[in-house]
Structure 1
Amino acid sequence: MVTVGDIIGGGFRLIRERIGAVAVWAGLYLVMNVAVVLGLRPIMAGTLAAQAAGVAPDPALMMAGMSQMFGLYLLLMIGLLVLYTAALRAAVRPAESGFAYLRLGMDEVRMVLVALVLSVGFFLLYLLLVLVVGVVGGVVAVVARGAALPVFVLLGLIVLAVLMFFYVRFSLAFALTMQRGKIMIGESWNLTKGRFWTLFAAYLVVGLIVTVVSVLVLGLTQGSYIAEMAQGGFRPEAVQAAQRHQMEQQFGAITGLTVVGWVLGAVLMTLWITLAAGVAGAATTGLRDDAFADIGAVYE
């Protein structure tokens, strides 16, 4: 039976066994991210100049800048999906190595479709939950005004728990789709039945690991930003000033610290992608093996 350790180990095993491919993914993400940052520099320079002059930016230029920003970030998201697909391919179809498991084919198209279906589904679920919270909270506010705040807090926690439950139950849709070569969203629900807590625990541990690494990277690259906010007592005006100074550093002159931030950011994102793919691949393979073993036991 697959365990939490088996699932977590799958993520680190993927890093260890495919370190060359992982390095390529990190390099590609670094190039993509730097391209986006450089593409945003003219837009952000105009915004910062307007703020420094104390005038409002030109609305037409703002709209054009927002459209350009959206296009750049959309390309970055597509690139991330291609990298995640490559990592999943390495996890569940390791024989198809090629160049760092990278492709542009039907696997990537299926990943996009799965992402769209799940995104729309979770968005609709979120809207439904918000509607329920609004109705129930409104009734409580009228009937027992003093209980409104704790009830809203409780309802918020319930919404979070419901979203987390559905996330875990559909979390293997990408890996199953890669493994089977066809869209397998519903199969994730079936395969994860009765295994919620095992998967949740594995995801929690991996999430905590990535969070700790993220905090360390944040401290190295944005320590001055955090220190400036802390010195200002985290007051709104202090936070705004720190954010402005941070933007000036990010989109101003390129320094050694800027380059270090780019590199560490690429390492962090690649770590997350690889761990997520390795964990999903190990969970999918392990749970399918368990399911086949259970079926075999029935016929023995």
Structure 2
Amino acid sequence: MQQQFSATDAALSGFRLVREHLKTVGVWAVLMTIASLIVSIATIKLAGPQMAAMMELSAEPSTDPQATLKAMEGMGPLFLFSALYSLVIYSILLAGVNRLVLRPHDSAGAHLRLGADELRQAAVLVLVNLILLAAYFGLVIVAGVGIGIAVAVGGSAAGVLLGLLLGLGVLAAMIFLAVRLSFAGALTFDTGKVSIRDSWALTKGRFWPLLGSYFVAMVLAFVVYALLLVIIAVIGATLGGGISAMADAFNPDMSSLATFFTPAGIVRTLFSGTLSILVLLIVFAPAPTIYAQLRGRDVSETFG
């Protein structure tokens, strides 16, 4: 008989982690705020003019591809910096989430480290994303061939209909693959070795409850994100700039330090760490929580 888990409890595990580990979450939020501030300044310094050009192009009804490519010139260092930053930050934070759930007693340094566990999480992130990317391009190529055949045989109407169906099929296949690989991080952290294939085996026969849990978590994360963004916008507008300043919270102007650090921009920066960490916990806590339940672990120390 398969070990069972509560999809609803798992979906709410991020909120429970915040409640039971409030001090740890606070430390993470402060560190993430500092990191976000550094990245914002680096982004403006590396590609402020290009960001301004991109914002102008995005405001136009139709964009010339040549103009877009020209605006992106010189943004290579920024893309490289962003990729490395994301890999390092998410490796550390995802290892921290797994540590909170699977090793709650290992609390030194607010459950954050920079060692072998984090390196393995980085490897998992790279491998899983490469698998998803390869699968996506493979499915798109197959879909493109199918649409081409349908247009040749049945005309444009048949091509459009088949294109819609195949598009939905590609989306469904990508969701299925992502769910089946969702235990890779927890398995790797728990076993101490990079483990992708074992996630496929452990999620077998559990796709729908897993999908339900992850979907609820995503919806909750979106609600929290939207509410906090509105609060940030209102506070920023109150401090200066009026209603027009509220747009800064949703679409910050990163063309220069002066345009970025408006009253609304400062408020957004101060709250950015809290916002990021809350969304991270809500979205990523369910997978290790479900994994722990399937392994028969006692998570009372984690969730009280």
TM-score normalised by length of structure 2: 0.79
Identity rate, percent: 31
Quick one: structure 1 residues 31 and 287, their matched pair in 2 at CA, closer, same or farther if it must change by over 3 Å?
Answer: same
| Alpha-carbon distance in structure 2 between the residues aligned to 1:139 and 1:203 | 36
Is 1:138 the counterpart of 2:148? The answer is yes
CA distance in 2, matches of 1:176, 1:44: 39
Give the letter aligned to residue 103 of structure 1.
Answer: R
Letter in 1 for 2:148: G
Give me the whole-angstrom Cα distance separating, in 1, the residues matched to 2:103 and 2:37.
30
* Change in 2 beyond 3 A, CA 1:4/1:68: closer
* Structure-2 residue corresponding to 1:187: 198
**Equivalent residue, structure 1, for 2:60:** none
Determine whether 1:15 maps to 2:26. Answer: no
Tell me the distance in 1 between the aligned counterparts of 2:98 and 2:287: 8
Q: Secondary structure at the match of 2:111?
A: coil
1:37 corresponding residue in structure 2:
40
Change (3 A) 1:149 1:258: same
Cα deviation for residue 45 of structure 1 reads 3.9
C-alpha root-mean-square deviation of aligned residues, in Å?
3.2
**1:4 and 2:7 correspond:** yes
- Going from structure 1 to structure 2, the CA distance change for 1:167 and 1:155 (only over 3 Å counts) comes to same
Runs of 5+ unmatched residues, structure 1: 229-241, 291-300
1:125: Cα distance to partner?
Answer: 0.7
**2:260 & 2:215 partners in 1: Cα distance?**
38
Q: Does 1:128 find its partner at 2:138? A: yes
- Separation in structure 2 between the aligned mates of residue 164 and residue 85 of structure 1, nearest angstrom: 23
Q: 1:123 to 1:76 in 2, by over 3 A?
A: closer
Partner SS state of residue 99, structure 1? helix
- The amino acid of 1:182's aligned partner reads K
Equivalent residue for 1:239?
Answer: none
Residue type at the aligned position of 1:269: S
Shift of 1:127: 1.3
1:96 and 1:20 map into 2 onto residues whose CA distance is: 15
The answer to whether the Cα contact below 8 Å between 1:250 and 1:258 also exists between their aligned partners in 2 is: no
Give 1:131 shift: 1.0
TM superposition shift of 1:116: 1.4
Please identify, of 25-34 and 79-88, the stretch whose mean Cα deviation from structure 2 is larger: 79-88
Match of 2:27 in 1: 24
Opposite residue 15 of structure 2, the aligned amino acid is F
Residue type matched to 2:30 in 1? G
Q: In structure 2, the residue corresponding to 1:273 is in which secondary structure?
A: helix
1:178 is displaced (CA, Å) by 1.1
Q: Are the equivalent residues in 1 in contact too, given 2:49–2:255 (CA < 8 A)?
A: no
| 1:1-300 correspondence runs (5 A) | 1-47=4-50, 62-63=73-74, 65-145=75-155, 146-220=157-231, 246-247=253-254, 252=259, 254-289=261-296
3-state SS, counterpart of residue 16 of structure 2: helix
CA contact (8 A) 1:36 1:73 kept: no
In the alignment, residue 187 of structure 1 is paired with which amino acid? D
Distance 1:60 1:269, change over 3 A: closer
Q: Counterpart in 2 of 1:296? A: none
Q: CA deviation at 1:113?
A: 1.0
What is the distance in 2 between the residues matched to 1:139 and 1:255? Answer: 54
- Between the aligned partners of 1:21 and 1:103, the Cα distance in structure 2 is 13
Are the counterparts in 2 of residues 26 and 270 from structure 1 also a CA contact under 8 Å? Answer: yes
Q: Which moved more, 1:199-208 or 1:140-149?
A: 140-149
SS in 1 for 2:109: coil
How far the C-alpha of 1:281 sits from its partner, in A, is 1.7
Higher helix share: 1
3-state SS of paired residue (1:289)? coil
1:100 aligns to what SS in structure 2?
A: helix
Return 72-81 or 135-144, whichever deviates more: 72-81
Residue 32 of structure 1 aligns to a residue whose secondary structure is helix
Measured in 2, the distance between the counterparts of 1:119 and 1:39 equals 26
Partner deviation per Cα, 1:199-226 (whole Å, 9 max, x = no partner): 10010001001112222344455699xx
User: Structure 2 counterpart of 1:22, which letter?
Assistant: V
